[in-house]
Structure 1
Amino acid sequence: MSARSNNPITTLLQDVPFMVIDGALATELEALGCDLNDSLWSARLLREAPEKIRQVHRAYFEAGADCAITASYQATIPGFMRAGLSEQEARSLITRSVTLACEARDAVWQADSGRPKPLVAASVGPYGAYLADGSEYRGGYDLDRAGLVDFHRERLALLLEAGADLLAAETLPSLDEALAIADLLAEHPGAQAWITFSAKDGAHVSDGTPIAECARALAGRPGVAAIGVNCTALAHIAPLIEAIRGECDLPVLVYPNSGEQYDPVTKTWHPAACDHQGAPSGLVQGAPGWLAAGASGIGGCCRTTPEDIRALAAWRQSLT
């Protein structure tokens, strides 16, 4: 079986105009009263309040999402152990992140089996997320590609074994880290992952590498199911899609932030500066242009909600 033929994204796209990805997990957990001011961020709730994570996943599926991203973005074995958990507890919590999303998906799909069966994408956050110092927005790590392979190896294997449909290697700031993930996919024949970068503008990922170079380097790698961008300003999405599409024919996925700007030093959000005239103000407003540019999947990242995803899914329904 070829890598393309077992790509769950292309299979889903046979039934829908584009894939609707879910929105922010942390934003909704905070809305439920959870305090995420912690180096583990939402991953802490895998132990303390797993039912809240399942509740948020279910809300996104009920809103019309075709895919949920698990709460494993900041879930790593060294990160959990640094917080006082045992190695076995850490492994169990990483596995639990997939179980919770699958339980939510199955509950919703069994009640509405007329829709395509939604996917569960297991989040593989960047090394910078483990560092919890904002470096996923700039790169410049103290690890080389081989070190990044070693860092990601066990978590990636655990997430695949837990039964996710594919991996979501997301918010990557550098091509080196993306290639490290691709190296690990080669160790798991048949495994699939989307790779999405955080971007600093309409042409470059966070460490300054052109997004076109990233797409070119990843396009032929086994197991790379899609390429795209997330955790990025709305104004940059269309040109980034065009740059990726110019280098490969894989599905292009985009799930930008709500429009606010994040300060990684103070860990706070601020209203976006109005310096991009004509930039879309939200997902539904941006979707037509992003599809025209070549996107195959659209969702939301930081500060987006189930209502944003509900509106996006309703707009898609109007296309059919």
Structure 2
Amino acid sequence: MIKASIIGATGYTGIELIRILKNHPMVSISKLYSESYKENKADEIYPHLKNNLNLNFCEFSKENFEDDCDIIFLALPHGHALNLASFFINQNKKIIDLSADFRIKNTNHFYEWYHKKHTQQELLKNTLYGLPEITNKINYNHINFVANPGCYPTAILLATIPLLKFNLIEMEHFVFDAKSGVSGAGRSLQLNSHFCEINENINAYQIAGKHRHIPEIEEQLNKFTLKNIKIQFTPHLIPVTRGMHITSYFHLKDNVTEKNIYESYINFYENSSFIRIYKDNILPQIKNVKGTNYCDIGFQIDPRTNKLIVISVIDNLIKGAVGQAIQNMNLMFHLEEDLGLHFITNYP
């Protein structure tokens, strides 16, 4: 059995890690770390865990660290992994970091967007950007540290990279219109995520090139194409708890057909359990992926403008965070990639 511990276990990603790892056939949960709720029983803070998990949250301390776990999930706000990652590497632990601290290889870009100097540049070089459907599986051999992608980048890159691979779209004028559920803002109290602010409302935020996921998306597209791609990205907050809906706009190359596009996705993702491709003008919806690790992708061509419109949807807490982290864990331990991750959404 793999022994897994979670640091930051009481946030939305932390509690989702507990739920999925608890039901993973090859994992036992070792320890749950929480600064806010140290010494509390897990089911005191989250009553839905009653009779399902008999563990206390505990305080993490480098000085008193005693944990025989095999892997540590860092479910912490941005900036904290910079101070912890090398410590755990020296303790011979495998790490999956769900923050942005190690996603961006260009440290100048990291400083520009996150206003922090990257203090672990050597470790950064040996960190794998873990988007399993895109990352070559051989890259997981002997890897000890995975940077888990962001939620918006996951849904955008999965929709875009096959089109680039098969040379179906022009490498310019990429427009991504994104909408996310409120859980993406985290569990901390914020005015713009209060019920009265978000209910019966929709609002754009961090528009005109201000959102921190932009450099992550661009870096991965540039890595794949060896070009200097710039994107237009506009995120919105919508009044749902979880789910993410991306509408992507691309300019098609000449004579590209719907059949070409469909086959490019099918061929690219033929060995990917969690990518579902729609055709015949059926478009993905958030309710079909909520609570699952699926990314659903559908598309239509606008012949009037020669634009390709692609819809991709994920659950931001699972495929956009925790489910993907467990995919990465499975690959790090040479297990089946989809082990412990096959959930069907509740319907309706």
Q: Which of structures 1 and 2 has the larger relative contact order (alpha carbons within 8 angstroms, sep 6+)?
A: 1
Global fold match (TM > 0.5): no
TM-score by length of structure 1 reads 0.32
Structure with the higher helix share, 1 or 2: 1
Structure with the higher strand share, 1 or 2: 2
Structure ID, larger Rg: 2
